[in-house]
């Protein structure tokens, strides 16, 4: 059985005190209200990671992710943070290839393959983000586009390493726009992704791979999205900044 996962991507939001308040609210609500086996992942900016780890270590189903890591091991890379450093403070997951990093920081599929290697070499679970821009969807080329992102950044992995990866499908036209993909559009893409994984690693691996949906997910649409056969949870941006909304999304399975 593959894992159900809801991850909250804070992006570049919250001061340290705002982050502590949000974490405390989420922790309390998760303890009181979440009875299911959902894995919750908080993805705050780097400066929050130690604090969020400290506040969540006792809660088995809450994990902490960085939003990025360096493709390099260590050395003269001013401003960068390595996967090894993240692991050393108790971070367990890392987002790799979010569309904002691809778009604004020019991250390429090849560079992302390096980041994936760094994450895995340091026992971090990569949450690999993929998704097409609007013009690609309008030309109906989204399936080739997304499967290529996956092949280029992940298909060099051994089966054993691929099994550790979580995939997040986030159509760029749905991120922060209020325009969610329909549950049918999400399911269609998730099924294509799973078939693509099966073509390389076999059905068993594909069936065990968690594939999350991201893009304007909120409490009102999460139940319909999560009910789809190949949607194993969500990567939540805007709605993860409000504890009530985020926890309601976690409870949407």
Would you name the residues annotated as active-site residues?
98, 170
List Cβ neighbours of 163 (8 Å cut-off, separation of 6 or more).
201, 205, 208, 209
Query: What does the angle CA 192 – CA 173 – CA 209 come to, to the nearest 5 degrees?
Result: 30
Structure tokens at 119: 């994450």
Residue 65 lies near ligand PGA (rule: CB under 6 A): no
- Check residue 164 and report its DSSP letter: T
Structure tokens at 89: 């403070």
Helices (H), the chain: 16-33, 49-56, 83-88, 99-104, 109-121, 134-138, 142-154, 159-162, 183-201, 203-208, 222-226, 243-250
Identity of the residue, 206 or 240, whose beta carbon is nearer to ligand PGA in the bound complex: 240
Identity of the residue, 9 or 149, whose beta carbon is nearer to ligand PGA in the bound complex: 9
Residue 170 lies near ligand PGA (rule: CB under 6 A): yes
Residue 175 lies near ligand PGA (rule: CB under 6 A): yes
Residue 67 lies near ligand PGA (rule: CB under 6 A): no
Least distance in angstroms from the C-beta of 115 to ligand PGA: 17
Given 4, 6, 9, 69, the residue binding ligand PGA (CB under 6 A): 9
Binding residues among 180-219 for ligand PGA as defined by CB under 6 A:
214-217
- Check residue 76 and report its DSSP letter: S
Least distance in angstroms from the C-beta of 170 to ligand PGA: 6
Given 101, 124, 238, 243, the residue binding ligand PGA (CB under 6 A): 238
By CB under 6 A, name the binding residues for ligand PGA: 9, 170, 175-176, 214-217, 235-239
């Amino acid at each position: 059985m593959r894992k159900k996962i809801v991850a909250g991507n804070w992006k570049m939001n919250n001061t340290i005190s705002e982050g502590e308040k949000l974490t405390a609210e989420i922790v309390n609500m998760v303890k009181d209200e979440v009875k299911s086996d959902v894995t919750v992942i908080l993805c705050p900016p780097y400066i929050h990671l130690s604090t969020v780890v400290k506040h969540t270590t006792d809660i088995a189903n809450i994990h902490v992710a960085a939003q990025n890591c360096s493709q390099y091991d260590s050395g003269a890379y001013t401003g960068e943070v390595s996967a090894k450093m993240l692991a050393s403070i108790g971070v367990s997951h890392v987002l790799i290839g979010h569309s904002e990093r691809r778009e604004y920081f020019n991250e390429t599929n090849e560079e992302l393959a390096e980041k994936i290697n760094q994450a895995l070499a340091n026992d971090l679970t990569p949450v690999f983000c993929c998704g097409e821009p609007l013009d690609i969807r309008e030309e109906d080329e989204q399936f080739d586009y997304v499967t290529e992102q996956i092949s280029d950044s992940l298909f060099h992995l051994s089966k054993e390493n691929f099994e550790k990866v979580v995939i997040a499908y986030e159509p760029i036209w749905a991120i922060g726009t209020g325009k969610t993909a329909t549950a049918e559009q999400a399911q269609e893409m998730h099924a294509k992704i799973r078939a693509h994984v099966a073509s390389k690693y076999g059905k068993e691996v594909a069936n065990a791979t968690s594939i999350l949906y991201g893009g304007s997910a909120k409490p009102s649409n999460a139940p319909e999205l999560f009910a789809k056969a190949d949607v194993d949870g969500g990567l939540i941006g805007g709605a993860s900044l409000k504890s009530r909304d985020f926890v309601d999304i976690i409870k949407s399975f």
